[in-house]
């Protein structure tokens, strides 16, 4: 069986424009972009779906989404960002290898990600809820949150002085993330 195209990209057998890499993933520019800055996050291991991808790799994917997405948004001065992943041919997956698309968005661009909302009855919604909640409860493992010690010093919240309006900053992509996810 022929090795998949994305595995060849990871190994350097297919030329790429790599813009980010860690131990588990690479991020490359898409050679057929939907918009300027459209990038692909590709796990270095061959995983057909997120459902079979190990947690450490999922963490790297999320880190690349948050860190890379914010930096891409800043660099191309995007007004928004779509994170797109499809599993299965019906969902647009063309190669059986996890790939997450980061697509910067701009006013009046030609990228369309839409669907026509269905109009289920309350009875249909209830049946779907019961089906999903019973399925999800089969595998649920509840983890107790860590107990945190209270902060030694209280945090001061800046408030506008009397008579001053609170100034709202213009949208800034640096607010998407201040640091990488651990």
Q: Using one digit for the tens of pLDDT, what is the confidence trace for 123-157? A: 999 999 999 988 888 765 555 556 666 555 444 44
How confident is the prediction for the chain on average, in pLDDT?
81
Q: Which of 29, 26, 47 is nearest to 37 (CA)?
A: 29
Confidence (pLDDT) at 45? 93
Contact 69, 124 (CB under 8 A): no
The answer to whether 45 and 81 are in contact (CB under 8 A) is no
Give the domain ranges of the chain. 5-105
115-118-123 Cα angle (round to 5):
155
* The CATH fold of domain 5-105: HIT family, subunit A (3.30.428)
Tell me phi and psi for residue 119, to 5 degrees: -130, 75
Rounded to two decimals, what is the model's pTM?
0.71
Region 34-46 average pLDDT: 95
What kind and span of H or E run contains 57? helix 55-63
Question: How distant is the alpha carbon of residue 74 from its chain centre?
Answer: 16
| Least confident interval from 22-26, 54-58, 125-129, 176-180 | 176-180
């Amino acid at each position: 069986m022929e090795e998949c195209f994305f595995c060849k990209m990871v190994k350097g057998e297919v030329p790429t424009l790599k813009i980010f890499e860690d131990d588990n993933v690479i991020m490359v520019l898409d050679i057929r972009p939907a918009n300027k800055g459209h990038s692909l996050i590709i796990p270095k291991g061959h995983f057909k779906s997120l459902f079979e991808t190990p947690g450490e790799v999922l963490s790297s994917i999320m880190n690349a989404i948050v860190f890379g997405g914010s930096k891409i948004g800043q660099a191309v001065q995007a007004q928004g960002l779509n994170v797109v992943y499809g599993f299965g041919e019906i969902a647009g997956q063309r190669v059986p290898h996890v790939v997450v698309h980061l697509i910067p968005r701009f006013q009046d661009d030609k990228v369309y990600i839409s669907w026509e909302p269905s109009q289920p009855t309350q009875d249909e919604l209830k049946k779907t809820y019961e089906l999903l909640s019973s399925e999800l409860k089969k595998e649920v493992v509840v983890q107790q949150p860590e107990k945190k010690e209270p902060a030694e010093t209280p945090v001061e919240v800046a408030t506008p002085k009397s008579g001053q309006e609170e100034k709202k900053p213009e949208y800034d992509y640096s607010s998407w993330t201040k640091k990488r996810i651990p």
